[in-house]
Amino acid sequence: MTISSDDLFDVLESLSSLQRFAKKLTGDDHTFAFLTFPQQARQELNKGHLIFAAQQLLLDPEPVPDMALHMALLRYLYPCQGISPCVGRGLRSDLPQRLAAAGTFTPLQPVPAEHRAFALPPAQAIQPPPKTRAERIESLLALAAATGVVNPLDPAMAAAPEPQLAEA
Considering the chain, what percentage of its residues have pLDDT values greater than 70? Answer: 72
pLDDT of residue 78: 93
End-to-end CA distance of the chain: 71
Alpha helices in 101-168 (DSSP H): 133-147, 155-158
Does one domain contain both 95 and 18? Answer: yes
| Each residue's pLDDT tens digit, 46-64 | 999 999 999 999 898 888 8
Model pLDDT, residue 132: 81
Looking at the structure, tell me whether residues 135 and 71 fall in a common domain: no
Are residues 22 and 55 part of one domain? yes
Comparing C-alpha atoms, which of 77, 32, 21 is closest to residue 51? 77
**Three-class SS state of 62:** coil
Query: Same structural domain for residues 40 and 97?
Result: yes
Q: 14-18, 47-51, 77-81, 152-156: lowest mean pLDDT where?
A: 152-156
Band of pLDDT at residue 75, cut at 50, 70 and 90: very high
pLDDT digits (tens, 9 = 90+) for 89-99: 899 988 999 89
Asked if the structure places residue 165 within a domain, the reply is no
Answer whether 76's CB lies under 8 Å from 108's CB: yes
pLDDT of residue 119: 45
For the chain, what is the mean pLDDT?
Answer: 78
pTM above 0.85, yes or no: no
- Residues 6 or more apart whose CB falls under 8 angstroms from that of 38 comprise 74, 87
Per-residue pLDDT tens over the stretch 2-44? 888 889 889 988 888 887 666 777 778 878 888 899 999 999 9
Q: Are residues 148 and 104 in the same domain?
A: no
Range of the domain at 130: 123-153
Q: Is position 83 within any domain?
A: yes
Answer for the pair 50, 3: CB distance below 8 angstroms, yes or no: yes
Pair (104, 145) in one structural domain = no
